[in-house]
Each structure stands twice: as structure tokens, then as C-alpha cells.
Structure 1
């Protein structure tokens, strides 16, 4: 009997993949840091029963329709805006993600990005490494306090609530905006719901953690940035396309907001000469929100286990869609 064929779009550790080998033929794109070319992905999909993609791999109609055997796409990431879920559902293909295992790690990075931006840590480190430190002065590389300030969290899911827990430790005033109220966050964390415009106007730090959907695309537009304080700092650790990058650039250059910390961009990867990356009041990171050894291995393992479950005729552990 022919084993099902599984295609993995990056090279993963052998011990992670080993349990799959007992029940499937597995092929991995042989590079850890190079995206699989689109034509290769479509070609592999023609015979695949399962695909394990990264969050940057577009799994669209062309990929989903390439072959008739595809049963499951197990994304290595909590976000799945790279997958056409509606098209997958129509074709009877399960889509899975890796929630929960990266919540605290991503919250750590988000708050670290907030601190680094507020206190100008990257700029200060480069100042020293470039030999510019000649003397001490009262306002040398002075940044902004974080403690006792107001943080406005847009997207109060698991990661948003984990960031709020960290903000509570800094004695911050916690505001949030979400599609639906979060009574548990209000009770346990003292978070206060605000309409979007009010949150923007009141917050010293505006932290974007909302998923990318048709409703949230460019949620942070020209009008949104104009509603913020001139001293406000914008942090985006969700998806790049939630913010209009041109509007953000103009807000930063025009002094409408003070600074930005970005772990995500609309089109990734970005070059060093990207307009936002080149600004001195921007701390830019290469989408490393979940990038610890422990968490990335947990994500790989969960994606793998979702595939094993489906191939063995069991329900997936963390499905995004339902197939009737």
C-alpha cells in the first residue's frame, strides 16, 4: 500500500519529522532560511496528502487545486492569513494552526519591543558600537518611561492578554479594543474596554495584536495615526498589513507619533533600505515573535501531530475550519 505523501516547506530537525516517517513518505524543502519557490510548491502539491507550510508560504487556490489527494494543511504559526481557508473548506481540506504554544513567547517579544523602542535600546547600542559615546550629557539618548503609562492593546486574544499581564507588572494603565468584550481580562487584569478611537487618543503605547482579516487590513491608517498622541509609540507584532505602511511612515516623519516598534511588515522579507527600517525612531525586527528554540520546536511538533492525526483518521488537534 502506497504511503501518503507529506511536503514540508522548510528543513525541520530529523527528530521532529521522525514520527511522520512511520506512516508517510516525507519530503522537505532542503533549506531552513530560503522560501520554497512557488512553482515547486504547486508541483509538490499535485501529489501531496498533507502540506506543512510556514506562515510566509502562500497556500492559495492554485496550490489547493493542484492535486486531488490533499487532505490537510498544517500551518506552522497561529496566524493563517497565508491560507485561503474558504477555498480549502470548499475542497474538503482541513486547515490547522499552532495556537497557545507561542502565546507567552510572543508576548515576551512584544513587550521587549515596546521597551526597546521606548528606551531607544537599539539606537543606544549602535551609538556605542560606532564610537560616538564621548561624554555623558543630561538627555543623551533619552527615551520614554514605560512604568505607570497607558498601554492600549488592539486585539485582546491570548497574546494580548499575556501582554497585558506583563504591562500590569509595570504598573501600566491597561486599555483594550477587541471585536468582543473580554470580561476575564477586565476582571483579572484590570483592563478597561475603549472604542478604537478613544483608545488611540488616550494611549501612550498602542500595541497591535489583532489578526489580519478583511476588516482589520489597514486598520491603522492615516486617520488612526492622527488620532494618537504626538508622544505615542506604535508597536506591531501581529501582521504587517494591519497597518498602512505609507501612513505610518508619514506619521513618523511628520512627528504625528513619536516612534514605532515593528516585528512584521506587509511584504516580507524587507530590505535594509525599506523606508520604515531606515528611520531612526523605528525599531525593526525580522518577524521573530515566536523565535525561541523551545517555542519553535513546540510549533513544529504541533503541526506535525495535526498531520499525523488526520492521516490516521482522527480529528486534528487544532483545526481552523470544519469539514462536514
Structure 2
């Protein structure tokens, strides 16, 4: 007799071709509405499924994993970041965790450059003026922003995305600087035209633009805290397309309001959708709804990676994108 198909629970709506392929391969329970699962729904899912396919909107913590049934053996995350999953506890329970690295590199790097341009050139203010119908023609002093070329860009986190940002920014004439947990190889630095700073404090104090491209881990939580933000020059700006928890959002808001930092472009936020209301009011801030990975191509490739991880696991092999605690 053929073996029973894997029971797979998907917590959010995915691109239709990905859902259709899952139905062909597995005994899958799809999400009918594009809303996050409640805690109770997640508990029921981990108690009954062989494989859970969560997204960043799902908190897969130790308490939830402790309620997993004996069947649950794989958490195949739809996304690269796994800071919402307690990988250590999952490993202790014999549950594998996989993710979808690499497929969003270009999309996120593009959005980083878009935010840098939007903040420096005050693009949202121009859009608002046009949409208000109150624009009355060109003026020599209206909406003056800053030139991108020649500015010093400090990249915090020089992984795949950080390096992709460096290549794009270099093409715009920016000077590339970076701080990373490990220094890049000399030939990579030469290829990127990047200068390494061992001291993050020293780099932050000298940059015109700071780009946050490191993951959220216990060691990077509030890495850009109030003390470090105060090191930034008053005419500098900061953009974040990585994880909101890396920046102390309240401290950043206070400094932006006080004019101690010139501007910010944020695609991610420390408390998810609960954004500091004072941050929304500032004209020198560009806020986006976590759009860094929002391309048709990227979301399809994420789905293909999830499918490959589950299928490889089903065939009795290690998922190609397995995440282990040592990687975090």
C-alpha cells in the first residue's frame, strides 16, 4: 500500500501556484482567509500536523512547541528570518526547522535603495503635494533634498543583502563602509569597494546614511540603541529593511522629532503593526508596510523553496535549507 501523504498546515495564504502544488504533493490544510492564525489555531495545527508552514506573523515560541504532537517533525518557514521561531526548543523536541534564504536578496536591496532615495530626495513629500492639488509650479527653494552621490553609506550587516546594497549604492556614487560580525575576505572588500570598521560606534559617527541589514538575534536587539543613535550626525539618515527590533524605535522617534537625526526610512518596526504614532506624524520619515520582499518573483521563489524543503524531508533526507541553532 502507498504510504500516507504528509499532513501539512499552512498558516497564511500563499501564491496560488504554490498552494496548488502543495495540494498535489501533500495532505495540506490551506488558510482560507489572509489573516494570521490565532494562538488557539496554531496550537491545534502543531498538535495534528506533520509539517507546519508558518510566516513571520506567527509566534512559534517554546510554549507553542511544547504543545506539539508526536507527528510534528518539520517547521518549514515561508521566509528567510526565523527570529519568530524558537529553533533551540524545536531542536530539543526533534523538530527540524527550515527557511527560504537567498531568494529575496535583490528585492530587499532594491527597497533599501528606494528608501535611501525617498528620504534624501523627499519623494513622499513631493507625492503628497501633488495629490493635494496645491502645487503651483517649480520653485528654486522648494523640497530641497540631498545628493546621493558622494555620501558615506554605513552598512550594518554585510551578508547577501548587505553586499547587494553595496553594489547598488556604489553605482549611485556612494562610498561604502560596513560593520559585520566577521570581516569579509580582502578580495570581496576590493570587489565591493568597501571599508571595514571593527568599531560600530566609530562607523556610525562618520556616516551620512546608515542601512540596517543584519538579522534580529539576541545579540542584535537594539544594536542601534539610544546611545548609538546619538552618535549619528544631525544631517544623517537611517534606513531599515531588516528587522525592526534592531533599532530602539522610541529613541529614534525622539531624535527625529528633536532634529538630532535628519530622516529615516523604515520598512520594518520594533512592535510589528503597533507603530509609534509620533513616528507616523513626521515628514522626515518614510514608512512602508514591510514591502521589502513583495515581488511576484520573490514570493514564488519562497514557495518553491518551502516545497523543496518539505519534499526532501518527505523523501527521508535533510531539508536543504535546514536551520540549526549554531547558525543563529
- The two structures have a TM-score, normalised by structure 2, of 0.94
Q: Contact 1:150–1:205 (CA<8 Å) still a contact in 2?
A: yes
Q: Is the 8 A contact 2:169 2:176 kept in 1?
A: yes
Q: CA-to-partner distance for each residue in 1:66-109, whole Å, 9 max, x for gaps?
A: 21211111111111100001001111111111111111111011
Q: Is the 8 A contact 1:42 1:62 kept in 2?
A: no
Structure 2: how far apart are the matches of 1:23 and 1:297?
17
1:1-324 equivalences in 2 (<5 Å): 1-32=3-34, 34-66=35-67, 67-183=69-185, 184-194=187-197, 195-270=199-274, 274-321=277-324
SS class of match (1:86): helix
User: How large is the RMSD of aligned CA atoms in angstroms?
Assistant: 1.6
CA distance in 2, matches of 1:2, 1:65: 25
Choose 48-57 or 128-137, whichever is displaced more. Answer: 128-137
On the 8 A contact 1:110/1:237 being kept in 2, the answer is: yes
CA deviation vs aligned residue, 1:251-308 (integer Å, no higher than 9, x gap): 101111100000000122246x722122111100011111100111101111122111
Which of 57-66 and 257-266 deviates more?
A: 57-66
Which segments of 5 or more consecutive residues in structure 2 lack a partner in the other structure? Answer: none
Contact 1:154/1:177 (<8 A) preserved: yes
TM-score relative to the length of structure 1: 0.95
Instruction: State the alpha-carbon separation in 1 of the partners of residues 100 and 280 from structure 2.
Output: 29
Unmatched 5+ residue regions in structure 1? Answer: none
